[in-house]
Each structure stands twice: as C-alpha cells, then as structure tokens.
C-alpha cells in the first residue's frame, strides 16, 4: 500500500536579492527593499513529503533516518547562514523561496523518495516544488472581512431557510475570510523568481481585497446580486477575476483557496475549470 508521509524541519537564514550585472538603481527597481545590503532574514519552515510502500513495521521510512538525512544535507548547512554564499546553486540563481525549494529537492532526491518540497518563508508566503525541472508553485496568503447572506433570490424565505439554515437570516452575517492564491511558472534561471511578488500582491489587492473588504457581498458586489455568495461561489468568482491579470504578469493561476472559518474552506483548481470549458455542451453554463 502506497502512503505519503511528511517531515517538518526548520532553519534560520538570511539572503539578498542582488545581481552584480545590474546597477544599483536597476537592482532597487527590480527587487525593492530585498536588495538592501547586507540582506534580510527569515525563519524558514520546511516540509518534505515522501511516498512509498508501507513496510512490515507500518512505516514508509524510518522518520528518525529521514530527520538525520534532512539535517545532514540541508538544515545543518543552511541554518544561520547567508544563503547567497552557502550553496553554489544560489550563486547562479538567487535564493528566492521557490528556488530554495527546488535546490533542497535536488539535494535530497538522491537519498529520499520525494514527492514534494514545501517551504514557508513566512506565514503569508510559501513555495512548492515537485521535481518538474524549473517549474514551481508560489502561494501568497491574505485576508478580507465581509458579510453575506445565503439566500437564492428566486426562492421564498421558507425555502431559503430550508436550504441554508440560519445563514439565510435577512440581515446576513460576517466572516474574516483567509485567501490563498497559488500561481505556477518556471523559475527564472537568474532572478530565481516565477513572478514578480510585488506585482502579484498588487493584482490581488486591486482585484480582490480592495473591492471585497468590508462589504456586504450580496449588495456591494454586483455579481452576487443574483449568485448566492457561498464560499464556493466566492472562490470561483475570485478565480475568474484573477486568471487574466496574473497571466499578464507572467505566471499562471493554479489554485484559489478560501477559508471562510476554521471549520469551512474550499479550493478551486484552474485545471478543473479548463477541463470543464473543454467539455461544455450547448446546454451547459460557461464557467471561464
């Protein structure tokens, strides 16, 4: 039986985004505050995912052995280091979050049956690498506060209460929504980036946070005048809002995850939307 197990590790390190072939002004324009000398640091959280058959002891691998391999090959070398100088790979390609994930995979792959390397630079930014050449995934997290009422405009009050329960109460209720936007693309062989992070955050701010934050979704967002603003419909709408602007800045939207509360969340994968659009019949609604 195949099983995926995950091992957590951590290290603290500093880095600087700076390309010597660019002028100081060009580096500042491209990397902003991340270009400042002598650099800045993070407490990195690393998750290594492994896949294999369960053995007679009920394990994929002995996690004590996994811990020692990760320590030997990664964390003992990176902890309390200046990443730009510690590994040769970071001299060619800057140690961005996404490139750190890629290089850690490269370092661990000879010893472990990897399926994913995920690294958090901070709670709002993480990257994933799954072994596909230079392709990586970058996730940014943010939030907005909004109210909504779950009630279909063509149904009676009684019918809406039967479907949505107390969420159909006429004055609505609110949430502190947590939003995770994941993009994918190829890591630039010099900058280490799959997308300009400042530009990505600005797209999310312009298309989602600014228009959504502190609103009553049913009344303030025209789309939800006729569409019930469930978490699923909100996530789908955000996905469709972000796809083109993210493509324009050089990446591809991979997934939108909306956490409505600690108990409820949903995810929309763009690949599913693309598949749905290919399989549309004349009687089906267009989602993309």
Taken in order 48, 239, 273, 133, the sign of the CA dihedral is: negative
Distance of CA 145 to the CA centre of its chain: 20
Is 214 labeled as catalytic in the residue annotation?
yes
Is 34 labeled as catalytic in the residue annotation?
no
Counting Cα atoms < 13 Å in the Cβ hemisphere of 240 gives 11
Is 3 labeled as catalytic in the residue annotation?
no
Pick the catalytic residue: 167, 178, 232, 266? 167
Retrieve residue 128's tokens.
């994933």
Angle at 102 between CA 100 and CA 105, to 5 degrees: 105
Contacts of 146 (CB under 8 A, 6+ apart): 174, 175, 177, 212, 213, 214, 215, 216, 217
Pick the catalytic residue: 40, 214, 225, 284? 214
Token look-up 């020692």 returns: 68
Pick the catalytic residue: 98, 121, 128, 260? 260
Contact between 258 and 217 under an 8 Å Cβ cutoff? The reply is no
Counting Cα atoms < 13 Å in the Cβ hemisphere of 60 gives 18
Catalytic residues: 167, 214, 260
């Amino acid at each position: 039986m195949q099983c995926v197990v995950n091992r957590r590790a951590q290290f603290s390190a500093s880095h600087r985004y700076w390309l010597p072939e660019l002028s100081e002004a060009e580096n500042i324009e491209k990397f902003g505050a991340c270009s400042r000398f002598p650099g800045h640091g993070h407490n990195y959280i690393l998750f290594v995912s492994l896949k294999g058959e369960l053995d007679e002891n009920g394990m994929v691998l002995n996690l004590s052995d996994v811990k020692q391999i990760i320590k030997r090959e990664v964390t003992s070398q990176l902890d309390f280091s200046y990443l730009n100088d510690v590994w040769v790979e970071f001299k060619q390609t800057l140690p961005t979050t996404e490139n750190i994930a890629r290089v850690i995979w490269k370092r661990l792959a000879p010893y472990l049956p990897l399926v994913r390397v995920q690294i958090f630079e901070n709670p709002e930014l993480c990257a994933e690498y799954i072994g596909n050449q230079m392709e990586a995934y970058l996730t940014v997290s943010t939030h907005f506060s909004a109210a909504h009422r779950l009630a279909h405009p063509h149904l009676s009050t009684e019918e809406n209460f039967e479907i949505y329960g107390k969420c159909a109460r006429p004055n609505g209720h609110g949430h502190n929504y947590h939003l995770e936007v994941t993009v994918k693309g190829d890591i630039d062989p010099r900058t280490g980036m799959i997308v300009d992070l400042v530009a990505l955050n600005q797209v999310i701010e312009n298309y989602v946070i600014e228009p959504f934050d502190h609103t009553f979704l049913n009344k303030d967002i025209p789309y939800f005048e006729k569409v019930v603003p469930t978490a699923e419909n909100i996530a789908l709408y955000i996905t469709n809002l972000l796809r083109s602007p993210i493509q324009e800045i050089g990446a591809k939207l991979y997934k939108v995850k909306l956490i409505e509360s600690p108990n409820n969340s949903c995810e929309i994968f763009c690949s599913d939307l693309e598949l749905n659009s290919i399989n549309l019949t004349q009687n089906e609604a267009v989602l993309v």
